[in-house]
């Protein structure tokens, strides 16, 4: 790769560059190509390697895939030893790095979300990667990264010409998908062929209404109405469904396919949504509105969602909830996810993170699961959130450590290292070459797999064939990260729970909920 000409000042070591055009600009250090040339890894050996630290917030399952990637990297670079430490959650990771700034005990490499990066950039510990990317010897082709994943890494700092610096590279990526109890919908189609797995929010309402009606009125084999508290059996030979009361033995040739024996009418809701923050942010976009906006630099950001259009959107979902069509985790007495109620037939559609979609698969094949795109409000605004962290490189006085860290970062974010990690951990490859690789395409075509792995593969197929297909019109998005954007997300996580269930025993209108949340975020309200 030919080295591009860049307006970097030729200094030894690092220098501090201010954000162009901003009076209160944060500063950060830019590593120069000349510094890269000072580094040499030839003096290190497998017996005496150079050591670098990599911090994440992942749990055990993902950490296993990361450690497998580290093993593969170290086979290529036996003179580099990578020590991976999980801080037990993204919030703990952010706190640990922020606390390590003063003592300069932070790692050489870490993962993070855009709002994390804003904090690290403000603390002057995060390196711009452009000199590495453009390096003739150590560079990479950033055009290979999935285009949807790069803007969030180039929205923090800009040079005097307004060109963005690259502050991170995509690492683990996922999105949201809709999980359906396909067995249930097959049964519903036998009763009413207009009941379909919805594509739009209006179809969620239409199908949800019809599902509730069928669940209350369909007759069992004794002629009694309702399916709650009962079981559904199916004969493939006769293509026939039968509903029996719990405890009644079905005739020979009929197999149990749906068990509602422990489901009460008042706790059943056809549709559920896991993440309250993602729900609000995505719906705001789908209704044509703006969630947040960065100010002049990463130290400033403003909320933009308190308006009548967003209130109208909230009213729509309040009606879905009040009509017993829509549920959130608290509806089922859960704190974070709807996977347990979904597996227990208390819901038959749920929006989940693609990275955790397997949690919705019932044990012992109790029913068939299929994966679909999330519902949208308007075909011209088919927004779906882009989730996952990016990798960052931090400052270090030892240029050898900086170079070793870059080599590790380059391996873990590009094909094949990133692709192998993604398949193992249930994420999507960050590069086009990874998505199109024989390895990944073979994974998508896998057939001899269990139901859990099939849900991951089907989710990946939705990502590739729906979200990743320009003709389908989907827009993957992530809102800008700035100092304090995590505070805003924490507050908007409460909007739907308050709207649906009230605050301090009092029910609030949609506008009152928005006003209340804004009152807790007054420092992010732009002065007129």
Nearest Cα neighbor of 419 from 400, 396, 436 is 436
Two tokens at 237?
């030979």
CA dihedral 245, 247, 252, 255 (to 10 degrees): 70
Q: What is the arithmetic mean of pLDDT over 480-509?
A: 96
Question: Higher model confidence: residue 421 or residue 27?
Answer: 421
Q: What percentage of the chain's residues is helix, strand, coil (to nearest 5)?
A: 40, 20, 40
* Contact assessment for residue 345 and residue 265, using Cβ atoms and an 8 Å cutoff: no
Q: Mind listing the pLDDT tens digit for each residue in 455-487?
A: 999 999 999 999 999 999 999 999 999 999 999
Q: What single string gives the DSSP state of each residue in 87-103?
A: -SSHHHHHHHHHHHTTT
Whether the predicted pLDDT of 91 surpasses 50: yes
Phi-psi region of 30 (alpha: psi -120 to 50; beta: other; left: phi over 0): beta
pTM score? 0.92
What's the chain's length in residues? 528
> CA-CA distance, 220 to 207, in Å (whole number)?
21
Confidence of residue 30 (pLDDT cuts 50, 70, 90): low
Whether the predicted pLDDT of 34 surpasses 70: no
Segments making up each domain of the chain, as ranges:
14-173+389-434, 267-387+450-524
Strand, helix or coil for residue 50: strand
Would you state the pLDDT for residue 32?
Answer: 52
> CA-CA distance, 199 to 222, in Å (whole number)?
36
Would you state the pLDDT for residue 16?
Answer: 42
Q: What is the arithmetic mean of pLDDT over 394-398?
A: 92
Q: Mind listing the pLDDT tens digit for each residue in 337-370?
A: 999 999 999 999 999 999 999 999 999 999 999 9
Q: Mind listing the pLDDT tens digit for each residue in 74-90?
A: 999 999 999 999 999 99
> CA-CA distance, 326 to 271, in Å (whole number)?
5
Provide the b/e sequence for 366-381 (b: ≥16 CB within 10 Å).
bbbbbbbbbbbbeeee
Which CATH number is correct for 14-173+389-434, 3.40.47.10, 3.40.190.10, 3.30.300.20, 3.40.50.2300?
3.40.190.10
Question: Higher model confidence: residue 22 or residue 409?
Answer: 409
Whether 14-173+389-434 and 267-387+450-524 share one fold: the answer is yes
Whether the predicted pLDDT of 22 surpasses 90: no
> CA-CA distance, 360 to 103, in Å (whole number)?
43
* Helix 510-519 vs helix 308-322: crossing angle, to nearest 10: 120
Strand, helix or coil for residue 242: strand
Cα–Cα distances (Å) from 157 to 27, 49, 121, 131, 168, in that order, read 9, 34, 9, 15, 12
Q: Mind listing the pLDDT tens digit for each residue in 278-330?
A: 999 999 999 999 999 999 889 999 999 999 999 999 999 999 999 999 999 99
The whole-chain average pLDDT of the chain stands at: 92
Whether the predicted pLDDT of 2 surpasses 90: no
* Contact assessment for residue 308 and residue 288, using Cβ atoms and an 8 Å cutoff: no
Whether the predicted pLDDT of 104 surpasses 90: yes
Nearest Cα neighbor of 185 from 459, 385, 370, 440 is 370
Phi-psi region of 526 (alpha: psi -120 to 50; beta: other; left: phi over 0): beta
> CA-CA distance, 156 to 480, in Å (whole number)?
8
Whether the predicted pLDDT of 27 surpasses 70: no
Q: Which residues pair with 50 in a beta bridge?
A: 80
Q: Which CATH code fits 267-387+450-524?
A: 3.40.190.10
Confidence of residue 391 (pLDDT cuts 50, 70, 90): very high
Provide the b/e sequence for 303-331 (b: ≥16 CB within 10 Å).
bbbbeeebbebbebbbebbeebbbbbbeb
Weakest-pLDDT range from 33-47, 124-138, 239-253, 442-456? 33-47
Share of the chain above pLDDT 70, in %: 93
Question: Higher model confidence: residue 268 or residue 18?
Answer: 268
Q: Mind listing the pLDDT tens digit for each residue in 228-256?
A: 999 999 999 999 999 999 999 999 999 99
> CA-CA distance, 177 to 465, in Å (whole number)?
13
User: Which residues fall within 8 angstroms of residue 462, CB to CB, at 6 or more apart?
Assistant: 177, 354, 371, 372, 373
Share of the chain above pLDDT 90, in %: 89
């Amino acid at each position: 790769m030919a080295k591009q000409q860049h307006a970097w000042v030729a200094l030894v070591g690092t220098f501090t560059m201010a954000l162009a055009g901003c009076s209160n600009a944060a500063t950060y250090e830019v590593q120069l190509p000349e510094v890269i040339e000072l580094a040499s890894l030839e003096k290190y050996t497998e017996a005496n390697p150079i050591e670098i630290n990599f911090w994440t917030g992942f749990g055990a399952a993902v950490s296993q895939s990361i450690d497998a990637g580290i093993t593969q990297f170290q086979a290529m670079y036996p003179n580099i030893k990578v020590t991976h430490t999980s801080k037990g959650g993204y919030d703990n990771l952010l706190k640990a790095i922020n606390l390590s700034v003063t003592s300069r005990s932070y790692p050489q490499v870490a993962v993070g979300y855009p709002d994390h990066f804003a904090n690290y950039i403000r603390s002057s510990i995060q390196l711009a990667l452009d000199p590495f990317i453009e390096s003739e010897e150590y560079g990479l082709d950033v055009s290979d990264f999935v285009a949807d994943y790069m803007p969030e890494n180039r929205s923090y700092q800009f040079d005097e010409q307004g060109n963005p610096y690259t502050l991170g590279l995509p690492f683990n990526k996922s999105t949201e998908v809709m999980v359906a109890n396909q067995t249930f919908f097959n049964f519903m189609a036998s009763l009413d062929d207009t009941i379909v797995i919805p594509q739009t929010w209006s179809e969620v309402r239409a199908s949800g209404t019809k599902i509730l009606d069928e669940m209350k009125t369909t007759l069992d084999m004794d002629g009694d109405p309702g399916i709650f508290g009962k079981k559904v059996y199916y004969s493939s030979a006769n293509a026939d469904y039968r509903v029996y009361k719990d405890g009644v033995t079905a005739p020979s040739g009929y197999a149990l396919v749906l068990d509602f024996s422990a489901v009460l009418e008042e706790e059943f809701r056809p549709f559920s949504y896991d993440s309250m923050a993602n729900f609000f942010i995505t719906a705001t976009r789908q209704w044509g509105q703006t969630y947040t906006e960065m100010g002049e630099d990463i130290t400033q950001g403003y909320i933009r969602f308190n308006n009548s259009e967003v209130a109208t959107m909230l009213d729509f979902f309040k009606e879905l909830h009040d009509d017993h069509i829509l549920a959130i985790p608290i509806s089922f007495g859960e704190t974070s996810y709807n996977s347990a109620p979904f597996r227990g037939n208390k819901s038959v559609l749920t929006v989940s993170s693609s990275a955790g979609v397997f949690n919705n698969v019932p044990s012992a094949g109790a029913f068939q699961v299929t994966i679909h795109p999330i519902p949208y409000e308007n075909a011209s605004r088919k927004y779906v959130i882009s989730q996952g962290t990016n990798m960052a490189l931090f400052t270090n006085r030892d240029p050898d450590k900086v170079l070793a860290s870059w080599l590790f970062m380059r391996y873990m974010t590009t094909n094949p290292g990133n692709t192998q990690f993604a398949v193992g951990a249930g994420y999507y490859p960050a590069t086009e070459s990874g998505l199109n690789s024989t390895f990944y395409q073979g994974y998508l075509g896998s057939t001899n797999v269990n139901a859990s792995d099939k849900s991951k593969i089907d989710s990946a197929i939705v990502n590739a064939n729906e979200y990743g297909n320009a003709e389908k019109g989907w827009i993957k998005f992530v809102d800008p990260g700035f100092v304090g954007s995590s505070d805003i997300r924490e507050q908007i996580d409460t909007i739907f729970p308050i709207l649906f269930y009230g605050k301090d025993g009092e029910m609030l209108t949609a506008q009152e909920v928005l006003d209340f949340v804004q009152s807790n975020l007054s420092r992010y309200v732009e002065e007129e």
